[in-house]
Structure 1
Protein backbone atom coordinates (compact mmCIF):
# COMPACT_ATOMS: atom_id res chain seq x y z
CA UNK A 1 0.00 0.00 0.00
CA UNK A 2 1.37 3.41 -1.02
CA UNK A 3 2.47 5.81 1.71
CA UNK A 4 1.07 9.34 1.50
CA UNK A 5 3.70 11.83 2.58
CA UNK A 6 3.48 15.26 4.15
CA UNK A 7 5.92 18.05 3.38
CA UNK A 8 9.36 17.21 4.77
CA UNK A 9 8.72 13.50 5.26
CA UNK A 10 11.08 10.85 3.89
CA UNK A 11 10.71 7.14 3.11
CA UNK A 12 12.86 4.31 1.79
CA UNK A 13 11.70 3.58 -1.76
CA UNK A 14 12.55 -0.12 -1.68
CA UNK A 15 10.92 -1.04 1.62
CA UNK A 16 7.30 -1.27 2.67
CA UNK A 17 5.89 -0.13 6.03
CA UNK A 18 7.15 -3.31 7.69
CA UNK A 19 10.69 -2.75 6.42
CA UNK A 20 10.61 -5.56 3.84
CA UNK A 21 12.42 -5.12 0.52
CA UNK A 22 9.42 -5.43 -1.81
CA UNK A 23 9.64 -2.70 -4.45
CA UNK A 24 11.44 -3.13 -7.78
CA UNK A 25 13.56 -0.03 -8.49
CA UNK A 26 14.98 -1.26 -11.79
CA UNK A 27 12.60 1.22 -13.45
CA UNK A 28 10.80 3.88 -11.39
CA UNK A 29 8.17 6.22 -12.78
CA UNK A 30 8.00 9.63 -11.17
CA UNK A 31 4.53 10.83 -12.09
CA UNK A 32 3.31 14.40 -11.68
CA UNK A 33 -0.24 15.65 -11.99
CA UNK A 34 -2.34 18.72 -11.33
CA UNK A 35 -5.73 20.35 -11.92
CA UNK A 36 -6.38 24.00 -12.75
CA UNK A 37 -8.84 25.61 -10.36
CA UNK A 38 -12.11 26.30 -12.22
CA UNK A 39 -12.94 29.93 -12.90
CA UNK A 40 -16.17 31.86 -12.70
CA UNK A 41 -17.30 31.52 -9.08
CA UNK A 42 -20.35 29.60 -7.87
CA UNK A 43 -22.64 30.30 -10.84
CA UNK A 44 -19.86 29.64 -13.31
CA UNK A 45 -19.26 26.22 -11.76
CA UNK A 46 -23.01 25.54 -11.53
CA UNK A 47 -23.53 26.14 -15.25
CA UNK A 48 -20.36 24.56 -16.51
CA UNK A 49 -18.13 27.60 -16.19
CA UNK A 50 -14.83 28.01 -17.94
CA UNK A 51 -11.73 26.07 -17.19
CA UNK A 52 -9.77 29.22 -18.01
CA UNK A 53 -6.62 29.47 -20.09
CA UNK A 54 -4.31 26.58 -20.78
CA UNK A 55 -1.60 25.96 -18.20
CA UNK A 56 1.66 24.45 -19.40
CA UNK A 57 3.52 22.90 -16.47
CA UNK A 58 6.95 21.49 -17.22
CA UNK A 59 8.61 18.71 -15.25
CA UNK A 60 12.38 18.95 -14.82
CA UNK A 61 14.98 16.76 -13.11
CA UNK A 62 18.43 17.78 -11.83
CA UNK A 63 20.99 14.99 -11.36
CA UNK A 64 23.36 15.93 -8.54
CA UNK A 65 26.78 14.62 -7.56
CA UNK A 66 28.16 13.97 -4.08
CA UNK A 67 28.52 17.73 -3.54
CA UNK A 68 24.86 18.37 -4.31
CA UNK A 69 25.72 20.02 -7.63
CA UNK A 70 25.01 19.49 -11.33
CA UNK A 71 28.44 18.62 -12.72
CA UNK A 72 27.66 18.47 -16.45
CA UNK A 73 25.79 21.42 -17.96
CA UNK A 74 25.99 19.95 -21.45
CA UNK A 75 26.04 21.89 -24.69
CA UNK A 76 24.56 25.10 -26.05
CA UNK A 77 23.15 24.72 -29.57
CA UNK A 78 21.64 27.18 -32.05
CA UNK A 79 17.87 26.97 -32.05
CA UNK A 80 14.98 28.33 -34.11
CA UNK A 81 14.14 32.04 -34.28
CA UNK A 82 17.60 32.96 -33.03
CA UNK A 83 17.07 31.27 -29.67
CA UNK A 84 19.73 29.00 -28.21
CA UNK A 85 19.08 25.57 -26.78
CA UNK A 86 20.98 25.34 -23.50
CA UNK A 87 21.73 22.39 -21.21
CA UNK A 88 21.50 19.95 -24.13
CA UNK A 89 22.62 16.40 -23.20
CA UNK A 90 23.41 17.61 -19.70
CA UNK A 91 22.60 16.38 -16.20
CA UNK A 92 19.35 18.36 -16.43
CA UNK A 93 16.34 16.60 -17.98
CA UNK A 94 13.76 18.98 -19.44
CA UNK A 95 11.64 19.66 -22.54
CA UNK A 96 14.60 20.56 -24.82
CA UNK A 97 16.77 17.66 -23.63
CA UNK A 98 14.37 14.89 -22.67
CA UNK A 99 16.77 11.95 -22.40
CA UNK A 100 19.96 11.77 -20.36
CA UNK A 101 23.08 10.71 -22.32
CA UNK A 102 23.32 7.60 -20.10
CA UNK A 103 19.87 6.45 -21.18
CA UNK A 104 18.96 5.83 -17.53
CA UNK A 105 16.54 8.73 -17.05
CA UNK A 106 14.14 10.44 -19.45
CA UNK A 107 11.06 12.65 -19.71
CA UNK A 108 8.16 11.01 -21.54
CA UNK A 109 6.62 14.15 -23.03
CA UNK A 110 4.75 17.39 -22.51
CA UNK A 111 1.03 17.38 -21.67
CA UNK A 112 -0.19 20.95 -21.56
CA UNK A 113 -3.65 20.95 -20.03
CA UNK A 114 -3.57 18.98 -16.78
CA UNK A 115 -6.98 17.61 -17.77
CA UNK A 116 -8.15 14.13 -16.82
CA UNK A 117 -7.01 11.63 -14.23
CA UNK A 118 -3.58 10.15 -13.75
CA UNK A 119 -0.12 11.56 -14.41
CA UNK A 120 0.18 14.66 -16.55
CA UNK A 121 3.94 14.27 -16.96
CA UNK A 122 6.31 11.42 -16.19
CA UNK A 123 10.02 11.08 -15.65
CA UNK A 124 11.31 7.52 -15.90
CA UNK A 125 14.52 6.57 -14.08
CA UNK A 126 16.39 3.28 -13.84
CA UNK A 127 17.47 3.85 -10.26
CA UNK A 128 19.29 0.54 -9.83
CA UNK A 129 21.42 1.24 -12.92
CA UNK A 130 22.15 4.92 -12.34
CA UNK A 131 25.88 5.63 -12.10
CA UNK A 132 27.26 6.06 -8.57
CA UNK A 133 28.39 9.59 -9.36
CA UNK A 134 24.74 10.64 -9.21
CA UNK A 135 23.76 10.83 -5.55
CA UNK A 136 20.50 12.74 -5.78
CA UNK A 137 17.76 13.68 -8.25
CA UNK A 138 15.73 16.83 -7.64
CA UNK A 139 12.31 17.10 -9.31
CA UNK A 140 11.09 20.57 -10.26
CA UNK A 141 7.86 21.80 -11.87
CA UNK A 142 7.59 25.22 -13.55
CA UNK A 143 4.64 27.00 -15.16
CA UNK A 144 5.77 27.99 -18.64
CA UNK A 145 5.37 31.78 -19.08
CA UNK A 146 3.56 31.89 -15.76
CA UNK A 147 4.65 35.45 -15.04
CA UNK A 148 3.48 36.77 -18.43
CA UNK A 149 0.17 34.92 -18.19
CA UNK A 150 -0.28 35.67 -14.46
CA UNK A 151 -0.54 31.99 -13.69
CA UNK A 152 0.80 30.58 -10.43
CA UNK A 153 0.51 27.63 -8.07
CA UNK A 154 -2.20 29.40 -6.07
CA UNK A 155 -4.45 28.68 -9.05
CA UNK A 156 -3.61 24.97 -9.12
CA UNK A 157 -5.18 22.27 -7.00
CA UNK A 158 -4.71 18.53 -6.51
CA UNK A 159 -1.06 18.71 -7.52
CA UNK A 160 0.92 15.58 -6.74
CA UNK A 161 4.14 13.72 -7.30
CA UNK A 162 4.30 9.95 -6.92
CA UNK A 163 6.75 7.09 -7.36
CA UNK A 164 5.70 3.85 -9.07
CA UNK A 165 7.95 0.79 -9.24
CA UNK A 166 8.80 -1.40 -12.26
CA UNK A 167 5.78 -3.65 -11.58
CA UNK A 168 3.32 -0.75 -11.56
CA UNK A 169 2.96 -0.55 -7.78
CA UNK A 170 2.61 2.94 -6.33
CA UNK A 171 5.23 3.30 -3.60
CA UNK A 172 4.52 6.79 -2.33
CA UNK A 173 2.64 10.00 -3.13
CA UNK A 174 2.95 13.61 -2.03
CA UNK A 175 -0.03 15.91 -2.71
CA UNK A 176 -0.66 19.60 -2.25
CA UNK A 177 -3.18 22.20 -3.40
CA UNK A 178 -2.63 25.87 -4.00
CA UNK A 179 -3.50 28.34 -1.25
CA UNK A 180 -2.64 31.97 -0.51
CA UNK A 181 0.95 31.04 0.30
CA UNK A 182 1.37 29.83 -3.30
CA UNK A 183 0.12 33.04 -4.91
CA UNK A 184 2.73 34.43 -7.29
CA UNK A 185 4.80 31.23 -7.12
CA UNK A 186 5.50 29.84 -10.58
CA UNK A 187 8.02 27.06 -9.86
CA UNK A 188 8.25 24.32 -7.27
CA UNK A 189 10.95 21.97 -6.02
CA UNK A 190 8.48 19.17 -5.52
CA UNK A 191 10.57 16.27 -4.22
CA UNK A 192 13.91 14.51 -4.39
CA UNK A 193 15.29 10.98 -4.35
CA UNK A 194 18.74 10.34 -2.94
CA UNK A 195 21.14 7.55 -2.05
CA UNK A 196 21.42 6.56 1.59
CA UNK A 197 23.40 3.59 2.89
CA UNK A 198 23.29 1.86 -0.46
CA UNK A 199 19.58 2.42 -1.07
CA UNK A 200 17.28 5.14 -2.38
CA UNK A 201 15.06 7.44 -0.33
CA UNK A 202 12.29 9.82 -1.37
CA UNK A 203 11.74 13.18 0.34
CA UNK A 204 8.66 15.40 -0.09
CA UNK A 205 9.81 19.04 -0.34
CA UNK A 206 7.14 21.38 -1.79
CA UNK A 207 9.36 24.50 -1.85
CA UNK A 208 7.91 27.24 -4.14
CA UNK A 209 9.77 29.92 -6.09
CA UNK A 210 8.43 33.09 -7.76
CA UNK A 211 10.33 32.53 -11.03
CA UNK A 212 8.77 30.70 -13.99
CA UNK A 213 12.25 29.87 -15.35
CA UNK A 214 13.60 26.62 -13.93
CA UNK A 215 17.16 27.74 -14.74
CA UNK A 216 16.91 30.25 -11.89
CA UNK A 217 16.01 27.36 -9.60
CA UNK A 218 18.99 25.44 -11.00
CA UNK A 219 21.61 28.11 -10.23
CA UNK A 220 22.21 27.16 -6.54
CA UNK A 221 22.79 23.58 -7.69
CA UNK A 222 25.65 24.52 -10.07
CA UNK A 223 29.35 25.04 -9.51
CA UNK A 224 30.30 28.72 -9.50
Structure 2
Protein backbone atom coordinates (compact mmCIF):
# COMPACT_ATOMS: atom_id res chain seq x y z
CA UNK A 1 0.00 0.00 0.00
CA UNK A 2 1.28 3.43 -0.94
CA UNK A 3 0.10 6.53 0.94
CA UNK A 4 -0.01 9.57 -1.33
CA UNK A 5 0.21 13.20 -0.25
CA UNK A 6 -1.93 15.97 -1.76
CA UNK A 7 -0.69 16.78 -5.25
CA UNK A 8 0.98 13.39 -5.76
CA UNK A 9 0.04 11.21 -8.72
CA UNK A 10 0.72 7.71 -9.97
CA UNK A 11 0.46 6.06 -13.39
CA UNK A 12 -2.02 3.28 -12.69
CA UNK A 13 -1.98 1.53 -16.06
CA UNK A 14 1.80 1.80 -16.46
CA UNK A 15 2.19 -0.02 -13.15
CA UNK A 16 -0.57 -2.54 -13.99
CA UNK A 17 -1.03 -2.70 -17.80
CA UNK A 18 -3.98 -5.12 -17.49
CA UNK A 19 -5.92 -2.79 -15.17
CA UNK A 20 -9.48 -2.67 -16.53
CA UNK A 21 -11.41 -1.05 -13.73
CA UNK A 22 -10.80 0.64 -10.42
CA UNK A 23 -12.91 1.23 -7.36
CA UNK A 24 -12.59 4.61 -5.66
CA UNK A 25 -13.47 4.25 -2.00
CA UNK A 26 -13.93 6.82 0.73
CA UNK A 27 -13.62 6.26 4.45
CA UNK A 28 -14.31 8.90 7.06
CA UNK A 29 -14.77 9.27 10.78
CA UNK A 30 -16.98 12.06 12.07
CA UNK A 31 -16.68 11.17 15.74
CA UNK A 32 -20.09 11.51 17.36
CA UNK A 33 -21.50 13.80 14.65
CA UNK A 34 -24.27 11.57 13.28
CA UNK A 35 -25.74 14.50 11.31
CA UNK A 36 -22.48 14.69 9.37
CA UNK A 37 -22.49 10.92 8.76
CA UNK A 38 -26.06 11.04 7.49
CA UNK A 39 -25.45 14.00 5.18
CA UNK A 40 -22.07 13.31 3.59
CA UNK A 41 -22.27 12.60 -0.13
CA UNK A 42 -19.51 10.93 -2.14
CA UNK A 43 -19.83 11.67 -5.86
CA UNK A 44 -17.98 11.55 -9.17
CA UNK A 45 -17.91 14.05 -12.02
CA UNK A 46 -16.95 12.97 -15.53
CA UNK A 47 -15.07 15.85 -17.16
CA UNK A 48 -14.01 16.65 -20.71
CA UNK A 49 -10.70 18.21 -21.82
CA UNK A 50 -11.78 21.61 -20.46
CA UNK A 51 -12.21 20.15 -16.95
CA UNK A 52 -15.98 20.53 -16.99
CA UNK A 53 -18.89 18.09 -17.07
CA UNK A 54 -20.40 17.64 -20.51
CA UNK A 55 -23.93 17.69 -19.02
CA UNK A 56 -25.82 16.96 -15.81
CA UNK A 57 -25.65 13.26 -16.72
CA UNK A 58 -21.93 13.38 -15.87
CA UNK A 59 -22.62 13.82 -12.14
CA UNK A 60 -22.80 10.42 -10.40
CA UNK A 61 -24.23 10.60 -6.86
CA UNK A 62 -27.02 9.14 -4.70
CA UNK A 63 -29.78 10.46 -6.99
CA UNK A 64 -28.08 9.36 -10.24
CA UNK A 65 -26.16 6.18 -9.55
CA UNK A 66 -24.42 5.89 -12.94
CA UNK A 67 -23.47 7.82 -16.03
CA UNK A 68 -25.44 7.01 -19.23
CA UNK A 69 -22.66 4.69 -20.50
CA UNK A 70 -22.52 2.81 -17.18
CA UNK A 71 -18.76 3.39 -17.11
CA UNK A 72 -18.91 5.07 -13.69
CA UNK A 73 -21.38 3.97 -11.03
CA UNK A 74 -21.82 3.90 -7.29
CA UNK A 75 -21.62 0.47 -5.72
CA UNK A 76 -24.55 -0.54 -3.57
CA UNK A 77 -22.54 -3.09 -1.61
CA UNK A 78 -19.27 -1.71 -0.31
CA UNK A 79 -16.21 -3.97 -0.24
CA UNK A 80 -13.53 -3.50 2.39
CA UNK A 81 -13.25 -0.69 4.93
CA UNK A 82 -14.82 2.07 2.82
CA UNK A 83 -18.04 3.91 3.66
CA UNK A 84 -18.92 4.40 -0.02
CA UNK A 85 -17.41 3.33 -3.34
CA UNK A 86 -17.55 4.33 -6.99
CA UNK A 87 -16.63 1.82 -9.69
CA UNK A 88 -14.89 3.03 -12.87
CA UNK A 89 -14.72 0.73 -15.91
CA UNK A 90 -11.67 2.30 -17.57
CA UNK A 91 -12.36 0.69 -20.96
CA UNK A 92 -15.99 1.89 -21.05
CA UNK A 93 -15.28 5.55 -20.22
CA UNK A 94 -16.20 7.56 -23.35
CA UNK A 95 -13.27 9.05 -25.28
CA UNK A 96 -14.71 12.54 -24.65
CA UNK A 97 -14.14 12.09 -20.89
CA UNK A 98 -10.57 12.91 -19.88
CA UNK A 99 -10.93 12.79 -16.09
CA UNK A 100 -13.19 11.48 -13.36
CA UNK A 101 -13.13 13.73 -10.31
CA UNK A 102 -14.29 12.56 -6.88
CA UNK A 103 -15.93 14.97 -4.47
CA UNK A 104 -17.28 14.77 -0.94
CA UNK A 105 -19.85 17.27 0.24
CA UNK A 106 -22.30 17.93 3.01
CA UNK A 107 -25.85 17.80 1.73
CA UNK A 108 -27.64 21.01 2.61
CA UNK A 109 -30.56 21.17 5.03
CA UNK A 110 -30.04 19.51 8.39
CA UNK A 111 -26.26 19.59 7.94
CA UNK A 112 -26.14 23.39 8.10
CA UNK A 113 -23.61 24.82 10.51
CA UNK A 114 -21.53 21.70 9.97
CA UNK A 115 -18.28 21.48 8.02
CA UNK A 116 -15.75 18.96 6.77
CA UNK A 117 -13.41 20.44 9.38
CA UNK A 118 -15.32 18.38 11.95
CA UNK A 119 -14.12 15.14 10.35
CA UNK A 120 -11.52 13.21 12.31
CA UNK A 121 -10.54 11.08 9.32
CA UNK A 122 -11.02 11.28 5.54
CA UNK A 123 -9.13 8.90 3.22
CA UNK A 124 -9.63 8.14 -0.48
CA UNK A 125 -8.49 4.74 -1.76
CA UNK A 126 -7.96 3.27 -5.22
CA UNK A 127 -8.63 -0.46 -5.42
CA UNK A 128 -8.10 -2.84 -8.34
CA UNK A 129 -11.65 -3.84 -9.28
CA UNK A 130 -10.52 -7.27 -10.51
CA UNK A 131 -9.10 -8.57 -7.24
CA UNK A 132 -10.05 -5.96 -4.59
CA UNK A 133 -6.36 -5.22 -3.87
CA UNK A 134 -5.66 -1.69 -2.68
CA UNK A 135 -3.35 0.12 -5.08
CA UNK A 136 -2.92 3.46 -3.32
CA UNK A 137 -4.57 5.65 -0.73
CA UNK A 138 -4.50 9.33 0.07
CA UNK A 139 -3.03 10.76 3.20
CA UNK A 140 -5.65 11.52 5.85
CA UNK A 141 -7.20 14.66 4.38
CA UNK A 142 -9.33 15.56 7.42
CA UNK A 143 -6.63 17.77 8.93
CA UNK A 144 -6.58 19.95 5.81
CA UNK A 145 -10.24 20.96 6.15
CA UNK A 146 -11.65 23.76 8.28
CA UNK A 147 -14.89 25.56 7.31
CA UNK A 148 -15.26 23.73 3.97
CA UNK A 149 -18.56 22.05 3.16
CA UNK A 150 -17.29 20.26 0.04
CA UNK A 151 -13.95 18.95 -1.20
CA UNK A 152 -12.44 17.70 -4.42
CA UNK A 153 -10.63 14.61 -3.14
CA UNK A 154 -8.88 13.12 -6.14
CA UNK A 155 -9.15 12.22 -9.79
CA UNK A 156 -8.49 9.43 -12.27
CA UNK A 157 -7.38 10.91 -15.58
CA UNK A 158 -6.09 9.95 -19.01
CA UNK A 159 -2.37 10.25 -19.60
CA UNK A 160 -0.39 9.10 -22.66
CA UNK A 161 -2.90 6.41 -23.59
CA UNK A 162 -3.28 5.18 -20.01
CA UNK A 163 -4.75 6.28 -16.70
CA UNK A 164 -3.26 8.10 -13.71
CA UNK A 165 -4.59 8.91 -10.25
CA UNK A 166 -3.95 12.16 -8.39
CA UNK A 167 -4.75 13.19 -4.79
CA UNK A 168 -6.20 16.71 -4.74
CA UNK A 169 -7.69 17.37 -1.28
CA UNK A 170 -8.99 20.85 -2.17
CA UNK A 171 -11.77 22.17 0.07
CA UNK A 172 -14.63 24.44 -0.99
CA UNK A 173 -16.54 26.69 1.43
CA UNK A 174 -19.48 27.06 -0.96
CA UNK A 175 -20.60 23.42 -0.80
CA UNK A 176 -22.07 21.56 -3.74
CA UNK A 177 -23.09 24.83 -5.40
CA UNK A 178 -19.44 25.89 -5.64
CA UNK A 179 -18.40 22.47 -6.94
CA UNK A 180 -21.23 22.55 -9.49
CA UNK A 181 -20.17 26.00 -10.68
CA UNK A 182 -16.52 24.95 -10.97
CA UNK A 183 -17.29 21.82 -13.00
CA UNK A 184 -20.31 23.11 -14.97
CA UNK A 185 -22.92 20.87 -13.39
CA UNK A 186 -26.47 22.23 -13.65
CA UNK A 187 -28.29 21.96 -10.31
Tell me, in whole angstroms, the C-alpha distance in 2 between the residues paired with 1:158 and 1:148: 18
Gaps of 5+ in 2: none
Q: Which residue does the alignment assign to 1:54?
A: 35
Q: Does 1:66 align with 2:49?
A: yes
Measured in 2, the distance between the counterparts of 1:176 and 1:53 equals 20
Change (3 A) 1:70 1:129: same
Q: How many residues align?
A: 182
Q: Which residue in the other structure is 1:12 paired with? A: 11
Q: Which runs of structure 1 show a deviation greater than 3 angstroms over 4 or more consecutive aligned residues?
A: 146-149
Distance in structure 1 (CA, Å) of the matches to 2:53 and 2:120: 31
Q: Provide TM-score, normalisation by structure 2.
A: 0.87
Matches within 5 A, 1:1-224: 2-16=1-15, 21=16, 24-37=18-31, 51-55=32-36, 56-73=39-56, 90-109=57-76, 118-145=81-108, 148-165=111-128, 166-179=130-143, 182-212=145-175, 214-222=176-184
SS at match of 1:14: helix
Alpha-carbon distance change, 69 to 3 in structure 1, aligned in 2, over 3 angstroms: same
* 1:81 counterpart residue number: none
CA distance in 1 between partners of 2:34 and 2:131 (Å): 36
Gaps of 5+ in 1: 38-50, 74-89, 112-116
1:156-188: CA deviations, max 9, x gaps?
Answer: 122111111121111110032534x52211100
Rg comparison, structure with higher value: 1
TM-score normalised per structure 1: 0.73
1: CA distance, partners of 2:131 / 2:119: 30
How far residue 107 of structure 1 moved from its aligned partner, in angstroms, is: 1.2
